[in-house]
Amino acid sequence: MKQEKVFTNALEITAISKKYQRGKIPANDKITTSFQPGQITAVIGHNGAGKTTLLNQIIGTVKPDSGDITYQGYSLLGNTKLARTLVSMMPQFHAPLTGVTLRQSIEAIVHIRCVTEKQVKARTNQILADLSLEQWADQSGDKLSGGVQRLTSFAMAVVCPPPIILLDEPTNDVDPVRRKLVWQYMRKLAQKGHIIVIVTHNLLEVEEYADRFLLFEQGRLIQDTPTGKLNSQFATHTLSAVLQDKDGLTTAPKALEINYLEEEARVVFTLTSEQIIEAINWLLKMMDQGKVINYKLSSASLDVSYGGMTNEQ
Ligand SMILES: Nc1ncnc2c1ncn2[C@@H]1O[C@H](COP(=O)(O)OP(=O)(O)OP(=O)(O)O)[C@@H](O)[C@H]1O
C-alpha cells in the first residue's frame, strides 16, 4: 500500500544548491536540513560560508539552482507571496530609517502585518519595553546608534511574528544587556512555536542560548549538533585528523560523535574529557604507521572547538 506523506510544521530544506554567476564554488552546495517549531537554530561559519545565501533562499530573494524548500508540504520556491506571509527576515544590514522615528518604523510594520488600529500603540510600546528601547523611541532613525538601529530592525522582524523568523546577525553592535534581551525574546517566540533561525558569529551566545547549530564551510553544511550536547558535557574536545585513507577508522576510538568528510579524507571526533586519552593513543598509533597527514586537537567551548571543526583559517 502506498504510504501517505505526513506533513509536519517543520521547514524542510532539500538538496538546495546555489552558485552565483562569478562564484568559483557554490555558495550553497546540496544543503539538506530541517528547522523545527520551538527550536532556535544558529547558523555559523566563516565569512562567505553561505549562511546568508541560505536565509535569502528561504525568504525568496535568491532563487536556488536546484533543490526545494517546503513548509507543511507547500513549496516556497516560486511562491514569493506565500514565503513573505510565512517568513520574516531581519537582514544583515539594517533597514534605512531616514525620516521616521524608531517608534514609527515599528508601528508601520504593526499596521501592515498584524493587529487592529486600537492595538498598534500597545503592541509597539510592549516591544519597546521588552528590548529596553523607550529612551530612543521618538528619535529620528538616522540619528540612532548602529546597535539601536539593529535592535529596531530586530523589533520590526519579530513584532508581528509569522511561523518562520530569520535573523541575520541580530546581536552585532548590541550592548551585553540588550543582547540578552534579544535572546530572551527569541526564546519566548520559540516557546510559542515559531521556527527561529539565526546567523551569528558569536559562538559564546550560541552555546548559551541556541538549541542547535549548523556549521557551514565553503557552501557545505559540515556539522549539525544540538548545543545541549556540548553543554551537558563538562568539557568537549575536538580531534580533527586528515588520514591517508579511511582504513584507520576501523580502529577509531570511542567518541560522542564521529564525522567523516569523504572529500577531504578528514575525520572529526567530538570527545568527552574521559575519551581523550584513547583518542590520543589511536592518533599516535596512526602517526607511527604514517597514516595521518595532519591533525588538530582543540578543547572546551564551541568558540574554541570551532577551529578544529572547520578547515579554513
Ligand atoms: N549577490 C551575490 N552575487 C555574487 N556572489 C555572492 C552574492 N552574495 C553572496 N555571494 C558570494 O557567495 C558566497 C556566500 O556568501 P554569503 O553572504 O551567503 O556568506 P555568509 O556565510 O553569510 O558570509 P558572512 O558571514 O560574511 O556574512 C560568498 O563567496 C559571497 O562572496
33 and 180 inside one domain: yes
Per-residue pLDDT, 116: 73
| 47 CB near ligand 1 (under 6 Å) | yes
134 and 66 inside one domain: yes
Instruction: Single out the residue in 190, 217, 244 at which a domain terminates.
Output: 217
pLDDT profile of the chain (313 residues), mean per 10: 64 96 90 96 94 96 95 90 93 77 92 79 94 94 90 95 96 93 97 96 89 94 82 66 88 90 88 88 93 83 63 60
Distance CA 202, CA 231 (A): 16
Q: Is residue 291 part of a domain?
A: yes
| 51 CB near ligand 1 (under 6 Å) | yes
- The residue with cell 498598534 is 120
| 146 CB near ligand 1 (under 6 Å) | no
Are 310 and 261 in contact by the 8 Å Cβ rule? The answer is no
Residue 253 sits at φ, ψ, to 5 deg, of -75, 165
Distance CA 237, CA 239 (A): 7
Q: Count H helices and E strands in the chain, helices first.
A: 10, 14
| 93 CB near ligand 1 (under 6 Å) | no
pLDDT digit string (tens) for 18-44?
999 887 899 999 999 999 999 999 999
pLDDT digit string (tens) for 40-82?
999 999 999 999 999 999 999 999 999 999 999 899 998 888 9
Instruction: Single out the residue in 151, 186, 217 at which a domain terminates.
Output: 217
In eight-state DSSP terms, residue 264 is: G
Q: State the closest ligand 1 atom to the C-alpha of 199, by its place in the atom list counted from 1.
A: 22
Distance CA 59, CA 76 (A): 8
Quote the ligand 1 centre to 217 CA distance (angstroms): 12
In eight-state DSSP terms, residue 47 is: T
Query: From residue 286, how far is each of 253, 255, 266, 297, 300 by CA, in Å?
Result: 12, 17, 14, 15, 24
Give the strand pairing for 40-45 and 212-217.
Answer: parallel
Q: What is the mean pLDDT of the chain?
A: 88
For 291, the domain range is 235-309
| 202 CB near ligand 1 (under 6 Å) | no
Per-residue pLDDT, 234: 45
Residue 45's domain is classified under what CATH number?
3.40.50.300
Per-residue pLDDT, 64: 96
Distance CA 277, CA 283 (A): 10
Quote the ligand 1 centre to 300 CA distance (angstroms): 30
Quote the ligand 1 centre to 52 CA distance (angstroms): 7
